[in-house]
Amino acid sequence: MKIFRSYFYFNTMHNLVHGKIKVINKKNVKIGSGCSINEGVLIQGDCGVVIGNNVVLSTGVMILDAGLNFDMLTHQCKRVHVGNKTFIGNNNWIAAGAIILPGVILGDNILVGAGSVVTKSFDSNCVIAGNPAKLIRKLN
């Protein structure tokens, strides 16, 4: 655990990492306590990623906070990263293969369905799924 902790900020030692994960720009990634991160997770920290407490990131989850600037008029990629911080609240489960795009803010107690592409922010206590992700139901 000492080697892994040196990569980026962990709130406590009560986090579990199962297999190999990739963290880009580790200094901009903050992870709360009680989290479980599974094999193949990618966390991009160009602009900043904050993950709350007791979050489960299932196999193959991608959390992105930046992308390339594409000019729709000239159809050219300017090769400049643009983006926003990405926030994931407490007690969330991001199921296998889900992608969280830049600037998304997820509240607490959210289940993100497997393979979902989350393009916008969602309030707490809900189930979301799909491409793009939409509200499936509110939780009590």
Q: Is the pTM of this model over 0.75?
A: yes
In a domain, 26, yes or no: yes
In a domain, 67, yes or no: yes
DSSP state of 11: S
Tens of pLDDT, residue by residue over 99-119, are 999 999 999 999 999 999 999
* Residues spanned by the domain of 26: 8-84+92-99+110-115
Which pLDDT does position 75 carry in this prediction? 65
Which pLDDT does position 19 carry in this prediction? 86
Catalytic residue among 14, 18, 75, 81: 75
Which pLDDT does position 53 carry in this prediction? 94
Cα–Cα distance, 126 to 140 (Å, whole number)? 8
Among residues 62, 19, 60, 17, the alpha carbon closest in space to that of 35 is found at: 17
Cα–Cα distance, 113 to 98 (Å, whole number)? 7
- CA 18-59-64 angle, to 5 degrees, is 110
| Catalytic-residue membership of 14 | no
Which pLDDT does position 3 carry in this prediction? 43
Which pLDDT does position 127 carry in this prediction? 98
Tens of pLDDT, residue by residue over 61-108, are 999 998 766 665 666 666 666 788 999 999 999 999 999 999 999 999
In a domain, 35, yes or no: yes
In a domain, 79, yes or no: yes
DSSP state of 18: E
